[in-house]
Amino acid sequence: MDQADQQDSLSAPPHTRAAAFSVHVFTALGAGIALIAQLEAVREHWPAMFGWLGVALVIDAIDGPIARRLDVGRVQPNWSGEVLDLVVDFVTYVFVPAYAITASGLLLPLAAPLLGVGIVVSGALYFADRRMKAADNHFRGFPALWNAAAFYLFLLRWPPALSSLAIAILIAATFIPFHVLHPVRVARLRGLTLSLIAVWAVLAIYALVNDFDVGAPVTIALCAIAVYVAGSDAAIRLARSFGI
């Protein structure tokens, strides 16, 4: 930070600086939520763990717009909101879900610890990749959404061999440059995307309240929305290549 930035930040009223810093505290609260989720995971209270990860997801969704509205980067230049966000995202999106996936008993026993290591290593590398987002705000590769992957692992409860294979494929997909929809920042079909995400949230809460004991219609709807998020960009590009 140069001297001009320092003087600019000091010229802000104390209450403005306090409000800006409170946004960083709010973001950091996500790490505390992750600890609570981890404690629930250790107790094998899986729906509670996902519930707390959902709270962290809400914090992650709203702290950015608040920070931009309060111009936090200018008012509090000594604190990097970008770095803080990445730290919190790693524990909520990667580390806690990796533990749940590894300790759930849903994978092959011999493969589980190796896949768990693969999740956290690939997730750390992904978060450090400056190319993780394309110019149109799509994610490049599987975007380390291991909280979502863990949710579907518990929802579908495939045979351990198939679940292990699916996790291995997702680890590899982290480094494959296909595009995955960012539900908020991608402008194309944003209205449809946000509507589907709202439906997904309601159905996901229903699944957690019922300890994942839901019928086929709910499971199919949740999977269909996941397919839309993961594959809509590829489908649109394919259609355009055929002139549709």
Tens of pLDDT, residue by residue over 60-95, are 999 988 988 989 888 989 999 899 999 999 999 999
Confidence category of residue 45, pLDDT binned at 50, 70, 90? very high
Question: Measured between alpha carbons, how far is 203 from 197 in angstroms, rounded to an integer?
Answer: 10
- The predicted model scores a pTM of 0.90
Tokens of 135: 């110019």
Residue of 182, 191, 62 whose CA lies nearest to 134: 182
Range(s) of the domain holding residue 219? 3-241
pLDDT exceeding 70 applies to what percent of the chain?
92
Split into its structural domains, the chain has a count of 1
Model confidence at 10: pLDDT above 60: no
Report whether 46 contacts 154 (CB < 8 A). Answer: yes
Can you tell me the distance from the alpha carbon of 93 to that of 57, in angstroms, rounded to the nearest whole number? 9
Per-residue pLDDT at 207 exceeds 70: yes
Q: Is the pLDDT of residue 2 over 80?
A: no
DSSP character at residue 91: I
**182: pLDDT confidence band, cut at 50, 70 and 90?**
confident
State the pLDDT at residue 188: 80
The residue assigned the tokens 């920042």 is 185
With 60 as the cut, is the pLDDT of residue 4 above it?
no
pLDDT band at 132 (very low <50, low <70, confident <90, very high): confident
